[in-house]
Amino acid sequence: MATILIKSPTIVTATATFEADILIEGEKIAALGPALSAPGAQVIDASGKLALPGGVDPHTHFNLPMFGTVSSDDHYTGHKAAAFGGVTTALDFASHEPGALAESVAAWHARADALAAIDFGFHMNITRFDPQTAAEIPSLPGLGITSLKVFSAYNGRLRLGDGEIFQVMRLAKASGLLTMLHAENGDVIDILVAEALAAGNTSPEWHAHTRPAWGAVEATLRGIALAAETGAPLYVVHMNAGGEVDQLAYGRQRGLPVMGETCPPYLFFTVDHMRRPDGAKWVCSPPMRSAADNQRLWQGLSEGTIQTIGTDHCPFFFDGSQPILYEGQAVAIPGKELGQDLFTKIPNGLPGVGDRLPILWTYGVRAGRMSANQFVALTSTNPARIFGLYPRKGALLPGSDADIVLWDPDLRISYGVNCRRAGAHHRTDYNLYEGWEVVGLPEKVFLRGRLIVDGEQWLGRPGQGQYLFRSSGEVL
């Protein structure tokens, strides 16, 4: 690969902002410093631009079966959308299938490896606990996986009992694994859903009413209590309720190894969006909450209680009966219209992997809710550190992978659906942020020294992404 010299950007890391040149040799950053020279190198003038480490999305779901359909982005289309949004690493979840854990991981490799367009890794879902699973959990690091996920909801499908989660966490601690928790109360949800249906309440907003915030709050505290009992680190995914932030702060103030993640929709949207005629667009689990919850989540980010912002990217068509054009081909995948008459049949999930950085830059950094350095920490460096990828990922340092985003902080667009200068590249028919003004977007994106996004041009290809074998991460 060629030697590349990026001249005169303003480098923004999780801890510092400074002017320096960046020398790329092959797939790695070779040097940073003032007035670098490299005879024969390709020179890129980045004056007036920012250089950021490639985004690391810790929470994505590509090609995920659900409700008789599948999430509409696979590991190529979703990775492409991620790259246009400045993301160069995405972590997906391997489903816990019948048979050995290694077979489940192999099945996910079969879905991902040939399509991957950015670098990627897997978390392992643990959705049943038996002697075989217990015996196999210690083998996960040998498969490159150092994090697993458990659920306190989805009774009869994904949920483990508290005692089972307790045992999983003890095994995880012994093997250097991080336990991730989907925190809701599955028993309460089942009762409320049955009552809503019996009363004839079928519209999208009832998805939120039957998954109450207090269930998420108490489930988060239960998870924190299990972390206290086991001494095992815990990471609460997609935090959506202000009370969850309060519980996380409670645990962290007592020195417990607990961390949290939120997602952009929980910072901006509320249950009121689910009352709209197109309310199914906002149906995901956990659901949208209130404006007060939005504010408490922003506060949790500002004060450092929450460590990361992921996306939980899991898109579905709003109307999968109507095709869209994707790379010149007509594509239609059954989506949220499956639940047009009943909220329990609406596929749960939202697009977002390509939106995270532009939206958070505009409505986080530019709005004064976070600094540029906090932005990099929350969307790149902290996920890399927590999930055992740092300093290969999430850093602009000599020896790090040359995953670099040249960011134009002044580029202004009105956000749309599926065209580069008007939004994201998700393979779906809507975007949550349509019509929003965005100021600040990636101009060039490098993956391990290879230019894959150049303005409006896609230079990437399926299969260029590498699977990442992760080490044990840090507790932040």
Residue in the structure block whose two tokens are 């417990």: 256
pLDDT tens, residue by residue, 425-453: 999 999 999 989 999 999 999 999 999 99
In this prediction, residue 209 carries a pLDDT of 98
Mean pLDDT to the nearest integer, 261-278: 98
Q: What is the mean pLDDT of residues 80-88?
A: 97
**Strand-pair partners of 182:** 151
Q: What is the pLDDT of residue 415?
A: 83
Report domain extents, the chain. 3-52+396-458, 54-386
- The predicted pLDDT at position 423 comes to 60
The pLDDT assigned to 432 comes to: 95
pLDDT tens digits, 344-384: 999 999 999 999 999 999 999 999 999 999 999 999 999 99
Alpha-carbon distance 193 to 190, whole Å? 5
Q: Coil, helix or strand for 406? A: strand
On whether the CB atoms of residues 61 and 314 are closer than 8 A, the answer is yes
Listed in sequence order, the residues at least 6 apart from 380 whose beta carbon sits closer than 8 Å to its beta carbon are 14, 52, 53, 54, 55, 56, 393, 394
Q: Residues 185-196: what's their mean pLDDT?
A: 98
Residues 206-210 have a mean pLDDT of 98
**What is the per-residue pLDDT across 228-254, written as a single tens digit (0 to 9) for each?**
999 999 999 999 999 999 999 999 999
Residue 392 has pLDDT above 70, yes or no: yes
- Residue 432 CA to residue 223 CA, distance in Å, equals 31
Q: What is the DSSP letter of 289?
A: B
The per-residue pLDDT for 420 is: 45
Rounded to 5°, angle at Cα 364 from 179 and 470: 30
Q: Answer with the residue of higher pLDDT: 415 or 98.
A: 98
Whether 186 shows a pLDDT value over 90: the answer reads: yes
| Residue among 160, 167, 157, 163 nearest 181 (CA) | 160
343-379 in b/e form (b: 16+ CB < 10 A) is: beebbbbbbbbbbbbbbbbbbbbeeebbebbbbbbbb
pLDDT digits (tens, 9 = 90+) for 101-144: 999 999 999 999 999 999 999 999 999 999 999 999 999 999 99
The β-bridge partners of 336 are none
pLDDT for position 424: 74
Token digits for 195?
Answer: 């009552």
**pLDDT band for position 418 (cuts 50, 70, 90):** very low
β-pairing verdict for 55-60 and 437-447: unpaired
Pull the structure tokens for residue 87. 């993301």
> How many percent of the chain have pLDDT more than 90?
96
Q: Which residues pair with 308 in a beta bridge?
A: 261
Phi, psi angle pair for 127, to nearest 5°? -120, 5
CA distance 382 to 380: 6
Question: Which pairing describes strands 69-70 and 65-66: parallel, antiparallel, or unpaired?
Answer: antiparallel
| C-alpha dist (Å) from residue 441 to 262, 308, 361, 408, 423 | 21, 20, 8, 6, 10
54-386 and 3-52+396-458 share a CATH fold: no
> Is the pLDDT at 35 greater than 50, yes or no?
yes
Question: What is the predicted pLDDT for the residue at 464?
Answer: 98
Buried b (16+ CB within 10 A) or exposed e, 290-319: eeebbebbbebbeeebbbbbbbbbbbbbbb
Query: What is the arithmetic mean of pLDDT over 11-22?
Result: 98
Between 1.20.1740.10, 2.30.40.10, 2.40.160.20, 3.30.43.10, what CATH number should domain 3-52+396-458 receive?
A: 2.30.40.10
Sequential DSSP letters for 188-242: HHHHHHHHHHHTT--STHHHHHTS-HHHHHHHHHHHHHHHHHH---EEEEEE-SH
3-state secondary structure of 136: helix
Residues whose CB falls within 8 Å of the CB of residue 253, separated by 6 or more in sequence, listed in order? none
Give me 221's structure tokens: 């505290």
Helix extents (H) in 231-381: 242-253, 265-268, 291-303, 356-360, 372-376
CATH 3.30.565.10 fits 54-386, yes or no: no
Contact between residue 281 and residue 333 where contact means Cβ atoms under 8 Å apart: no
Pairing mode of beta strands 17-19, 10-12: antiparallel
User: Which residues have CB under 8 Å from 276's CB, separation 6+?
Assistant: none
CB 402 within 8 A of CB 28: yes
- Report pLDDT digits (tens) over 297-336: 999 999 999 999 999 999 999 999 999 999 999 999 999 9
Residue 417 has pLDDT above 60, yes or no: no
State the chain's mean pLDDT as an integer. Answer: 96
Coil, strand or helix at 342: coil
